[in-house]
Amino acid sequence: MASKSFKASRSSLSISSDAGDSAHHRPPLPPTVTFGRRTASGRYVSYSRDDLDSELGSGEFMNYTVHIPPTPDNQPMDGPMDPSISQKVEEQYVSNSLFTGGFNSVTRAHLMDKVIESEASHPQMAGAKGSSCAILGCDAKVMSDERGADILPCECDFKICRDCYLDAVKTGGGICPGCKEQYKALDLDEMAVENGRPLPLPPPAGMSKMERRLSLMKSTKSVLMRSQTGDFDHNRWLFETRGTYGYGNAIWPKDGGFGNGNGKDDEVSEPQELVSKPWRPLTRKLKIPAAVLSPYRLLIFIRMVALGLFLAWRVMNKNEDAIWLWGMSVVCEIWFAFSWLLDQLPKLCPVNRSTDLSVLKEKFETPSATNPTGKSDLPGIDVFVSTADPEKEPPLVTANTILSILAADYPVEKLACYVSDDGGALLTFEAMAEAASFANIWVPFCRKHDIEPRNPESYFNLKRDPYKNKVKPDFVKDRRRVKREYDEFKVRTNGLPDSIRRRSDAYHAREEIKAMKLQRQNRDEEPVEIVKVPKATWMADGTHWPGTWMTAGPEHSKGDHAGIIQVMLKPPSDEPLQGTADDTRLIDLTDVDIRLPLLVYVSREKRPGYDHNKKAGAMNALVRASAIMSNGPFILNLDCDHYIYNSQAMREGMCFMMDRGGDRLCYVQFPQRFEGIDPSDRYANHNTVFFDVNMRALDGLQGPVYVGTGCLFRRIALYGFDPPRAKEHHSGCCSCCFTHRKGRVSVATTPEEHRALRMGDSDDEEMNLSLLPKRFGNSNFLIDSIPVAEFQGRPLADHPAVKNGRPPGALTIPRDLLDASTVAEAISVISCWYEDKTEWGNRVGWIYGSVTEDVVTGYRMHNRGWKSVYCVTKRDAFRGTAPINLTDRLHQVLRWATGSVEIFFSRNNALLASPRMKLLQRVAYLNVGIYPFTSIFLIVYCFLPALSLFSGQFIVQTLNVTFLTYLLIITVTLCMLAVLEIKWSGIELEEWWRNEQFWLIGGTSAHLAAVLQGLLKVVAGIEISFTLTSKSGGDDVDDEFADLYTVKWTSLMIPPITIMMTNLIGIAVGFSRTIYSVLPQWSRLLGGVFFSFWVLAHLYPFAKGLMGRRGRTPTIVFVWSGLIAITISLLWVAINPPSGSTEIGGSFQFP
């Protein structure tokens, strides 16, 4: 194993190696770029680079490219040059290396011959096969291009690696070691030419990589953007008049960047075509029809009035016979009315939205004046997938999620996938490597035949006809071959645990034999003791795994291991790489792009004594690592079991981010859809009422809450910055429902680009950049990436109403190549100490301190004035799995409710929200923190019918007309509201009823436990966990829903069981008392029985879950249950017989 060490510096290791030798072989550089500032009078003033850097981000600076016609002293280059081959070779080295490091340790890059046991074939993959260097004693890989073909510098095709080639050039006089002839090209840069963009201008001294990239993007100011100011546009006038007034006219080049100097007229773009096109929005807001929404709002108002009158009547009309029963019922009813208001008021303004993907393609991927090649101008997206334990989260499920991401319909060069393995398991590492290897055939297959969904497990298990709408004649053959490859991939992945165990045992035995031999050599005559060698976990290349070992050891356990980064798939080339007919592949990929997105395995450093903050800490580590390696301005986070079901989902989300006003959106939340749910959805696992009713309603306010997965974030919103134009937007009481006149708002005269990055409530026009290290840590590279991400995330400035926009074509520049120092920097920011004395987890990134970190993170963004959007696509964007077992479902609800109680007792309580949050949005967040407390009143109210039947009293004196009228109005309005909600949300009546049932089941079990947990934690600092204690059933492997019938006992089941038994006994007692009473009180019986049946009807799914599979519960159980209920009822009547009678059934008497 070869290894290489790096210091904690950010010096470029890839440029210095051969810069000196190739300096006088390179062609002359293109003309330099000058910077100017336009004054109020229209005059231009030149600025130096230092002056420009002091005001980085100003919209008043324009970059110009001067095209000089070719003359004898100015000859253009023969063709645009490819970036340095030496840099590409180092990128290949980086992708074949496993980087490790952390606190007080050196960052090392372990060069790996292979990552998995099977052979890797894709040239982007780590450990891909390649030729070895022919120099004796050198086992390095030969340089290769994007297709994996060897780059051979000599015509004799002598195979030589980069280091040996440089040695031959520097010390061997440029003689080929094979044919002993002089190399014709002494510079590696002259060996590769591509039809892409020309090389960027060299950076000024002292300018960082991120600053240089920001300068390049800002140099592509569009003609349209400058012409919308209303001032005279010199550049446009020069273009339209072909400006013939001097030598070297400053005209706008066709590609919007640096010119190629050929001086042809046809290379000049025509802006009239772009200006004349009508501007089209990317999204539309579809309002709910007034015929549905107006009655809906009216019914809410009517029910509010009815509830108020009813509660007033209840307070004034006491039940003197049972004052205790009346008092408990009134208190509960007042709380229920308050809880209903908190839930219903945010639903006043529901909206639907739609996107137009054709407009997105036209604006960002269609040839135009600012983008003549039609190269994608979409911003980059970094996709985060989190996993922690391969035993609880099967690696095959995570691998399928990764494959669906790699095959997504988004520009390959703009997409990056980061897998966070918080357990540091070699099993997850090798499963991801296997997935990267299988992606070599799966991703091109999806692109060739437009496969949906692009999760292979889901696709091959589809119950519909897979050949529908497929017209290519080779589809059947391709599908059969890919299916066979996937089956082999599944077998390899499922066999990884045994493979790793056998490999580790073999290496461990070898190490023990070596140690014993060494001991014998050192002790010739002394008795040999048993040598104890730590049982390590070994990788495929025969080296120790730096993460968690199967047999935990020092610095190799779940809470104690180094940080690890492995580039599984190196960044793709900037231009499409089409497959060819002569490729040795299973399927014909002619004219199919075979590139794969960047895939990175990340396992953050963990050490004892540090609070690693669970999933939120892992997400923040990915935020920092991705900022350094790819710096996508948008982040999509997915759970490991939540895969992309709609390959265009990211494009749908980008429509909102890139539309007018999209710069004020912090995230786009997609609904969660689930697979594997039983057809009846017994425990409301689909949660459609929340995702299709509540979330659509919140979309009409300040936006939906963040629910933990399937969310597209704006990176700078995660960084804790305020939204642009934050002081211009003020929340109103009912601004979502009714129009209001905007008051005059004073806006600073500073350009918007200066105010794009603001944090906190300070009135400074621009944030003090010197404070950033205190907030983000001591990584200068990370801090430099912030303004780049902010600029790349802006919408297009293609309309006068678009504020804080970026010029079209700014994101068509090639990416920066990965080098070893960049990955070493990424290792340092995922170390366990990096967040010390910073604001990570407090204001920056995912917020710490709550079980439900997702809700708190979204709340903080809304509290700063950001908005969010709910994106419901025609085809589900993402799909995942949900627990269908009763106990698992209760524990899931318990975790959510516990987080809500923590929110209520923290500073994230909506009562403490800032004025930037809208009133109804605040009400919605207040309901998030309060709803678990409803369980206290709900349990009391569920016992009231039984207490009423036991005592012979009722919550009212008599069932008079007034009470029944109020009850009827409240019930009918509730049903009518449900019908209208079903109408505008699209859910079904059965789904609404299932939600009502599980509301009572969860409210009487998990919510109460959450309240107890929260109170004990806040008051006494005691933490209680409710765990599974026993398990039975669920052994039917052939049944898809076997887990539904599994009965796992938990203490959460005690309150609902008690409520059911009490009400059943109460009904029996009530009937017995009334039937054998001299003066039967039928009204009180009917009232108590009605409410008891209401409780039992809601608890029916819970009772069904306790019985397990139908037919498996013995009949004797039901017989004994009935006998016990009858016996208890008779005993109650005997102990407390009806007044004035001791007889039961006429002549029969108790002894």
The catalytic residues are: 422, 854
CB of 388 closer than 8 Å to CB of 427? no
Query: What tokens appear for 127 in the block?
Result: 């450990």
d(CA 195, CA 572): 16
Sorted by sequence, the CB contacts under 8 Å of residue 384 that are 6+ apart come out as 418, 420, 619, 622, 626, 635, 636, 637, 638
> Pairing state of beta strands 711-714 and 634-639?
antiparallel
- Residue 461 vs residues 457, 641, 754, 826, 1142: alpha-carbon distances, Å: 6, 16, 53, 39, 69
Query: What tokens appear for 615 in the block?
Result: 């999933």
- Residue 390 vs residues 411, 640, 1008: alpha-carbon distances, Å: 31, 10, 32
d(CA 451, CA 438): 16
Handedness of CA 214, 217, 219, 221 (dihedral sign): negative
Q: How long, in residues, is the chain?
A: 1151
Sorted by sequence, the CB contacts under 8 Å of residue 553 that are 6+ apart come out as 534, 535, 536
Q: Helix 496-522 vs helix 475-494: angle between axes, to the nearest 10 degrees?
A: 40
If one counts every other C-beta atom within 10 angstroms of the C-beta of residue 1071, the result is: 14
- Residue 368 vs residues 256, 371, 1065: alpha-carbon distances, Å: 10, 5, 77
The DSSP H or E segment spanning 110 is strand 105-111
Output phi, psi for 648, to 5 deg.
-100, 15
120 bridge partner residues: 128
> Measuring CA to CA, which residue among 876, 870, 712, 736 is closest to residue 353?
870
> Pairing state of beta strands 878-881 and 643-644?
antiparallel
1143 bridge partner residues: 1149
d(CA 718, CA 622): 12
d(CA 568, CA 116): 11
> Tokens 């990128």 sit at which residue?
91
> Pairing state of beta strands 598-603 and 563-569?
antiparallel
Alpha-carbon torsion angle 702, 708, 712, 713, nearest 10: 70
DSSP state of 81: B
CB of 436 closer than 8 Å to CB of 599? yes
If one counts every other C-beta atom within 10 angstroms of the C-beta of residue 195, the result is: 9
How far from the centroid of its chain's Cα atoms is residue 460's Cα? 25
**Preceding omega of 453 cis (within 30 degrees of 0):** yes
Output phi, psi for 925, to 5 deg.
-70, -30
> Tokens 């090389």 sit at which residue?
199
If one counts every other C-beta atom within 10 angstroms of the C-beta of residue 412, the result is: 22
> Tokens 């201008």 sit at which residue?
201
> Measuring CA to CA, which residue among 179, 260, 262, 255 is closest to residue 220?
255
> Measuring CA to CA, which residue among 168, 153, 143, 201 is closest to residue 21?
168
d(CA 853, CA 868): 17
Output phi, psi for 840, to 5 deg.
-65, 130
Specify the amino acid at residue 543.
T
Specify the amino acid at residue 846.
W
383 bridge partner residues: 417, 636
